[in-house]
Each structure stands twice: as structure tokens, then as C-alpha cells.
Structure 1
Amino acid sequence: MDFFRGRRLRMSPQVRRLVAETELRPQDLIQPWFVFETDDADYKKAIGSMPGQYQLSIPQLLRQAEGAVKNGLAACILFGIPKEKDPKGSQAYAENGIVQDAVRALKREFPELCVITDVCLCEYTSHGHCGLVDGERIENDPTLALLAQTALSHARAGADMVAPSDMMDGRVAAIRTALDAEGFTDLPLMSYAVKYASAFYGPFREAAEGTPKFGDRKTHQMDPANRREALREAEADLAEGADILMVKPAGPYLDVIRDLREAFDAPLAAYQVSGEYALIKAAAERGWVDGRAVALESLTGIKRAGASLILTYFAEELLPAIG
């Protein structure tokens, strides 16, 4: 009696690789780095809730990048932690701010590395919110000009791409308009189009020192219960000039990644966030799981769902395994 012999294509590593439907490649991964404004060239502070990740001075960032680029890293995204914060987040758009200086340093040393910048105010404001505040209200429209200034300052510093993460309505249009007016018509924009108000961001608050001093971010980040809303957000950002869409977090929202992949032809990114990373690392440190295997499986699942690019803190670590 004949029956399906699916095991024939699983009997050796060579055949399994040959018929694999999803391939994880070095160029699919984007490494987030936290760059800290300091006069101490040797500054490299471990982030307790994210084993293997650090706040880095610019010289330490360059050392980190050197090894990663040698292992095949194609792209990074930068988050800055300034010395001084104020209510308007003025260091976010300062021409010699920490991210701006880091971009110039990376592009000077590693011109082949695609340097993406996160565009938001939360790491730079004294209140820790993503926009200007009036009392305890986060102001949408007055924030747009500052986000545009931030993106412009990153472009002038030499960034290869800007990535607004604030989730203010209209920020993609404001940034695109400002970039085009200054001659940066060819600079791509990767929008955090679908960013949920997630509990998985906890470790990032320590890493970026951007915990809100009051309230939360539920008035501008999406409700985790909503799926169809993601399509509206993505469609709006594409109409405003986004070149790449992003879903954040990744693992708990694989259905949303699939929805966007089926609805739009634009490149699609997904952010495996700090909490996803920390959970895997914590379980691995206790010997409960094979950390590398779980990380690779989780990233493969994100790509299988439809993401073409993955922002992940595992990028540097896993490059030798997939290169």
C-alpha cells in the first residue's frame, strides 16, 4: 500500500537544506546598538536585563561594529542616550548629538554598513515620552516638526535610512516632506508602522533610559488586541511616503506580519524586541532551552510569516551560524 513518504526529504542535513522553504541570511538581520554620550572612550556598560547587550561609547561602538561587519553584518540601527535631557528632547535633533556623531563615525570606518537611525524623542526628553507634553497629554501635531528635524539631522550626518518609531499620526508625511525639501529625496524611510503598546519592551527601558516619568504610551501605540487596525496604519504610512513597513514586536504578532505581507508589496521588517530576547536568554542561562537553537527557530518563524528584514539583538551572535 502506497502512502506519503515525507521523511524522504528529511533523512539528511544535505537534503533538508536543499528543500528548506525559508532561508535565514546574514543580510536579513539588523543589529540594534545603544550608543551613550560620554567622554570615557572605554565606556561599555552591560545591560542587566539583556545579557550580551551594552551601552557603548562611540569608540566602543566602532570596536563592536568591526567584529560584526567581519562576520557579515549588513545593517544596524542606532539608539542614542544623551548626557542631558530636556522637555523638548533637543539633543535628538542637535547637529552634534550622540546619534549624529555615531553615524558619522560608523560611516567613516565602515562605509559598507547600512546605518539606520531610530527617530523618536523618548530617549531625549526629561519626561520620557515620545513627543511634547501638555500636562499629562502627549501632543501629536506640535511633535511632528521636532521629529522632522531629528530625521533631517540624521540625514545630514550620513544615515543610510531613518526609522520613525514614535507612532504620532502624520509623522511619516512630515519627515518625508522635510527630507525632500532638503534634497534627501533618495533617503529611504522605514516606518514603525504597526507598533503595539507591548509589555515586551520592558528591558529596552533600561537599555535606552527612556522610561516615562508618568502615564504610559497607550494613547499612541496600538492596542495588542487589534489586528485589522494594523492594515489601516500600514496603508496610511505607505501613502505618506514610507518605503519599508515594520511590525513591532515580532513573535507575538506573526499573524499581523502575515496580514501585511499579503496586503502590501513593500519590504516588510519585524522587530524582535528586548523582552523576546531577554526571555530566550534567561531560559538559556538556566539550561531550560538551547538558546541558540531557540533564537534561530524564532527568527526563522518571523521570516516564514513574511518579514524580509528582522531587527534582533541576536544578530551579532548568530551571524557565524548562518553566514
Structure 2
Amino acid sequence: MRPINLINVSEFLLLGLSEESELQPLIYGLFLFMYLITLFGNLLIILAISSDSHLHTPMYFFLSNLSFVDICFTSTTIPKMLWNIQTQSLVITYEGCIIQMYFFTLFVVLDDFLLTVMAYDRFVAICHPLNYTVIMNTWLCALLVLVSWIISILDSFLQTLMVLRLSFCGMVIIPHYFCELKQLVQVACSDTLLNDTVLYFSAVLLGGSPLAGIVYSYSRIVSCICGISSSQGKYKAFSTCASHLSVVSLFYRTCLGVYIYPVNAHSSHSSATASVMYTVVTPMLNPFIYSLRNKDIKRALKAFFKTAAIKRSQLF
């Protein structure tokens, strides 16, 4: 069959997580619940940090950015999935698929870099506490976030251009619940050697390098913690890193598993299931991980709700 150029394709079909009709209401309810929890949880983190002047520090500045990115991250995939289940449709337009893939790639890379920046922030706080405010100044914090955005945008733009050069044969069926970059490359019928090369090189460079930075930061942190004489000091230092370590391990175990391992090592369903972990579950758990283990966040949230309740009582 003669390949059809991607420009002539008007729509793709997303098979979703399951083709069984009786499971669709369950999937719809579950993902709607997780999406709402993600939105409200991360929004509360942002509101708590912005409303409490004591939390206007580099650590919480990066955390608020991570929460914002997590909201955008889930919003690129879940609403369309819920809409397709609601309308009993598998269709996504060509333009919609490309846009979804672009923003998904952008936010997954941005999430990766923000986790690395947060690890560096913890390294400076624990290993260089006396110079922390000097090193992690407002200018450097803004620069780190800006560089993360620029790299993510450029990588996403490059990956999108690489997909635009592909050709597809007949009806394009994507065995996934969103237009994921790797899945689009797999269903193409033209030569994908260059795409695979760029994809895996990008995954190793933009996934492996930040991971190496995180591992290095925490190796230095562990070394510094071991040098602390008091057990209380060791516990306090470790407790500031525990939440971040939990998020990093959850994110990397699933994300790198999808992008680094060979295609044959995963079936379509197992790949989609792994994608659910880092696209939905991780952003949903982040607010719980950071708030439950952080006294400052819990105090800020209590103050926020108390202020909101007072304003509401005054209004009525």
C-alpha cells in the first residue's frame, strides 16, 4: 500500500486503555477522580505557597513551579481521554494529536528538569547552609527555571518536527490513550531510523543527564549527612529530602522504563499502563507527598483555609 503523507491524514484513532465497553464507565470515573484530585491538590500547594510569606524561598518556589507543570501535564492528556469516553469516540484530529504530543513532550521534560533543580537546591541547603541564601538567590532560581523551560520547548519542537516528516499507511490507529511520541513513531510506515535515533538520544541526554545530576547531588548530601554528629540533625537533614526522593523514584521508574527500554520489551497495554503511572499517578501523589511530610506546607494550608473561612463568614 502506498504511504500517505501525514499532511493528508485528518484524524487518528486512540484505542485507550481498554477496548471493553463495560470497563469504560469505571475508567472514566477513576480518571476523572484522579484528575480532579491532581488539579485541586496542586492548586492548593500553589495557593498555600503564594499566600504565606514564610514559604517565599527557593525550595517552595521550585515546588510551586512543579505543581503548575503537573497541572498542565495532566491537562494535556486526561480531558481528551474523558471526552472520548463520554462521546464514545476514538477520534482525535491531526492538529489535536500534534498539539497534544508537543505539549506532553514539553511538560514531561520540564518535570524532569525541575526535579533536578530541586535536588540541586537541597544539595546547596544541606552541604552549604551558610552560603545558601547567597548561592540560591532570586536571579539564579529564575534562571534555572527559565533554562528548564527553554530546553523543554526546544526538545519538544525538535521532536514534533521529526514526527511531521513521517508518513502513515491508511487509518492511523494509536494503541494508547493519548498521542504519545513513541507510539506515533511506531505506527508510521515510513523509515523511522532517524526518528528512533533522535528519540533515544534525547531520552538518554534529557533523561539520563538530569538523573546523573540528581544522583550526584544526593551522593554529596548523604556524605554531608554522615558527617553530622547529632542524630537529630541527621534526621532533620534527611527529612527535607525524603519527599523529593519519593517523587523522583516514582517518576523515573516509570518514565525511563517507557522511553529507554526496547520496543519489543513492552506490549501496547503495558506501555500504556506504565504511562498512567507517570502522567497521572505521580502528579496526583505529589501534593500528598509534599504536604503530608512538610510541616510548613500543612501550616500554610491551615492558615489559608482559616483565612478563607473568615472571609466567607464576613461576606455572608
Greater strand share, structure number: 1
Q: Provide TM-score, normalisation by structure 2.
A: 0.26
Q: Provide TM-score, normalisation by structure 1.
A: 0.25
Higher RCO, 1 or 2 (CA under 8 Å, sep at least 6)? 2
